[in-house]
Amino acid sequence: AYIVRIAQKSRAVGIHLIVATQRPQATVVTGLIKSNMPCRIGFRVAARMDSRIILDQNGAETLLGQGDMLFLKPGTSDLVRAQGAYVDDDEIHDVVTHLTDMAQAQYHPELMQLNRIDVDAAQGDDLYDEAVKIVLETKRGSVSLLQRRLSIGYARASRIIEMMAAAGLLGEYKGSQAREVTMTLDEYEQLKREQLEAEVHTYEDLTAQDDDLEDDEPTDEDLDEEDGAEDADHEDA
């Protein structure tokens, strides 16, 4: 099921996917998998049935081996016989290195940023948490919705919506349309709990460091003992 889903999405967005198997059985190479694989290659197999499972026709059982193959092109049922070249590990490494150097990964920061909930935003308005619950439950980031449900004015409702957008709960402004809601209420509450727990752990770590520093500081008794030792040294001198 997972291979079928990957194949369907890959075909839709243009990702090249290679699926290989040493067991050309109907339970392995299913019809859904084949329907999402526009190109197929068959090497020598043991029986006609194996050839039909891979290529939907006979022929692969008569191949000679050692790279002898049948190639099924997209959009046609005509098979092309070809000879596969032997490629050793060093050549594969060189090709992969070349492709890696030529096609550097391109990252979009706006897609990579993890949602972070601004837990301090609730301090700016006592209706913020209730407004968040309304918006996430209805999945509509609308100023008019908050006005009706909370019985507040336009300015206050608009300010709360902007606070939600800044916290990462809502998408960009789209004119008269409601803003897109980027997470569910359960996800919001989970992220909020995780952030609060992280802040508690940070506070505990800082408190522990302060305690360690206090333990290292000399006490009055230690200072008195040091003074007594110094006085004794002076008397001996």
Query: pLDDT (tens digit, 0 to 9) for every residue of the chain, 237 residues total?
Result: 678 888 877 777 778 888 888 888 888 888 888 888 889 999 999 999 999 999 989 999 999 988 999 999 888 888 999 998 888 999 999 999 998 888 777 776 655 555 555 555 555 678 888 999 999 999 888 899 999 999 999 999 988 988 888 877 888 777 777 888 888 888 888 877 877 777 777 766 667 665 655 555 555 565 555 555 555 555 555
User: Which top CATH class is 109-237?
Assistant: mainly alpha
What pLDDT score does 149 carry? 92
Which one-letter DSSP state was computed for residue 70? Answer: E
Q: What are the sequence ranges of the domains in the chain? A: 2-85, 109-237
* Structure confidence at residue 197 (pLDDT): 78
What's the whole-model pTM score? Answer: 0.39
The secondary element (H helix, E strand) that includes residue 7 is: helix 2-13
Beta pairing, strands 79-83 & 68-72? antiparallel
Cβ density class 133-158: b for 16+ within 10 Å, e for less = ebbbeeebbbbebbeebeebeeebbe
Q: How far apart, in whole angstroms, are the C-alpha atoms of residue 12 and residue 72? A: 20
pLDDT of residue 209: 62
pLDDT for the residue 17: 83
* Cβ pair 82, 64 in contact under 8 A: no
Which stretches within 14-153 are classed as H helix?
31-35, 48-55, 89-102, 109-112, 128-138, 143-150
